[in-house]
Homo-oligomer: A and B are copies of this chain.
Amino acid sequence: MSDISTKPDNSHTIAELIRSQLNRFSPAEIKIVNHLLANYPMAGMVSITELSENCGVSTPTVMRTLKKIGYSSFTTFQKELKDELQQTLSDPITKHDKWAADAPESHVLNRVADTVTTNLRHSLNQVSHEQFDAIIDLLAEQDKALHIVGGRITSAFARYMNTHLEVIRENVYIFPEAVALWPHHLLKIKPNDVLIVFDVRRYEQDLITISRLANARGAKIILFTDQWLSPIASEAIHTLPIRIEGKSGWDSGVVTLFFAEAIVVALEEKLWTQTAERMRELEDMFDLTERFKKRIE
C-alpha cells in the first residue's frame, strides 16, 4: 500500500510512468489509470471530484492510486501534468531543442536565438490577422501617399521597408534623416495619406511631435512599437505591439523587422500583377546602369 517513495522516475512522461506499473493495480485503480491513459492528458486536468465521477470510483480511491503511482497528492500530480502539457505545447514555432541539443544553451548565439523566437511567438499572439489584413488593405490604396519614418535605432527598419515598398507600389516616401527637415516633409502629407511610424523605447519626442502634426493633417498612422506602447499609440489607427525585450537587458529589433517584412510580403502578394511589372522595369534599369558603368570603366 504505502509505497509513496517508489517512483521509478526514469520515465519522461506521466503516461509512461503509469504504464510501467500497470500490473500493480486493483480493479478500481485500473478503472482510474485506464481512464487517465485513454483520455491523456486532459482527463487529469479536472478536479479530483470530477475525475472520480468520470471513473466511477470515490475520491479517496483516486488519491490512493496517485500515491501508489508516485505522487504525494492529487495537487502535485496535476501540477506535474500541467507542466508536461505546457512543455508539449510551448512553441510549435521554435522547435527549440533542435539546436539546443547540439550546442550549450549558454552560447550567445543560442541565447539570442531563444530570445528572438520567444519574442516572435509572443508578438504573433498579440497581432490579430484581421488587424494585419486591415493594414495591408490600407497600404494597397495607392492613390494615398505612404510616408515612413523611424527613430534613432528604428530608422534602419524604416529604410528597409521603404526600399521594398518603393518597388511594390507608387507614392512611397521616407522621411529625411535630418530631423530638422521633418517639418518640411510634413507639408507633403495630405489628408488620408498613410504614415508608418517606428517608435520603440526610448520613445522619441520628435516622433511623437511629428505624429501629432501628421494626425492633425488627417494622416492615418500605422505604428510599430513595443509591448509598452509608445504614446503615439493614441494617435494611431493601427498599432503593432512587438515584443522587443530580451531578459538579458538588450532590446531586440529582429521581430520588428520581421513584421515589416511580413507587411512587404503580404502587400507584394496582394498587388502582385502590378509589382511584377514594376520589378521588371527595375531589372531593366539595373541592366542599363551596369552597362553604363562598364562603358566608363
User: Is A116 at the interface (CB under 8 A from chain B)?
Assistant: yes
- Assess whether A103 is interfacial by the CB under 8 Å rule: yes
Stretch at the interface among A139-147, A149-157, A182-190, A210-218: A149-157
A26 located at the interface, meaning its Cβ lies under 8 Å from any Cβ of chain B in the complex:
no
In Å, the complex CA distance between A213 and B163 comes to 27
Query: For the complex, is A24 an interface residue (Cβ under 8 Å from B)?
Result: no
A192: interface (CB < 8 Å): no
Q: Compute how far the CA of A269 lies from the CA of B261 in the bound complex, rounded to whole angstroms.
A: 29
Q: Which residues of A (64-116) have their CB < 8 Å from a CB of B? A: 82, 85-86, 89-103, 107-114, 116
Interface bin, chain A: 35 or more
Judge whether B204 and A293 touch: CB under 8 Å.
Answer: yes
Decide: A125 near B108, CB < 8 A? Known: A159-B155, A295-B202. no
CA distance A98 to B262 in the complex (A): 19
User: In the complex, are the beta carbons of A268 and B291 less than 8 A apart?
Assistant: no
B contact residues around A98 at 8 Å (CB): 121
Residue of B16, B112, B227 touching A261 (CB-CB under 8 A): B112
Tell me if A296 and B201 are in contact (CB < 8 A).
yes
Q: Chain A binding site: helix, strand, loop or mixed by DSSP?
A: helix
Query: A100, B125: Cβ atoms under 8 Å?
Result: yes
* Bound Cα distance from A248 to B262, whole angstroms: 12
Contact A265 B108 (CB under 8 A): yes
Contact yes or no, A129 B107, CB < 8 A: yes
Closest to A45 in B: B82
Contact A125 B99 (CB under 8 A): yes
Q: Is the CB of A125 within 8 A of B15?
A: yes
A157 to B114 Cα, complex, angstroms? 21
Report the bound CA distance from A215 to B112 in whole Å.
Answer: 31
* In the complex, chain B residues whose CB is within 8 Å of the CB of A124: 99-102, 109-110, 113
A297 at the interface (CB under 8 A from B): yes
Q: Which residues of B contact A127 (CB under 8 A)?
A: 109
* Interface contact A268-B254, CB-CB below 8 Å: no
Q: List 11 additional contacts besides A37-B125, A113-B258, A250-B265; criterion CB under 8 Å.
A: A42-B85, A93-B117, A98-B121, A100-B121, A100-B124, A100-B125, A109-B124, A117-B117, A155-B159, A156-B160, A202-B295
Offer 12 A-B interface pairs, CB within 8 angstroms, sorted by A. Answer: A38-B121, A92-B100, A93-B101, A99-B121, A107-B129, A112-B265, A156-B157, A156-B160, A156-B163, A160-B253, A228-B296, A250-B268
Interface residues of A (CB under 8 A from B): 15-16, 19-20, 22, 34, 37-38, 40-42, 45-46, 82, 85-86, 89-103, 107-114, 116-117, 120-122, 124-132, 152-153, 155-157, 159-160, 163-164, 201-206, 208, 227-228, 231, 243, 246, 248, 250, 252-254, 257-258, 261-262, 264-266, 268-269, 286, 290-293, 295-297
Top 4 A-B residue pairs of the complex, sorted by shortest distance between their CB atoms: A156-B160, A19-B128, A37-B125, A108-B266
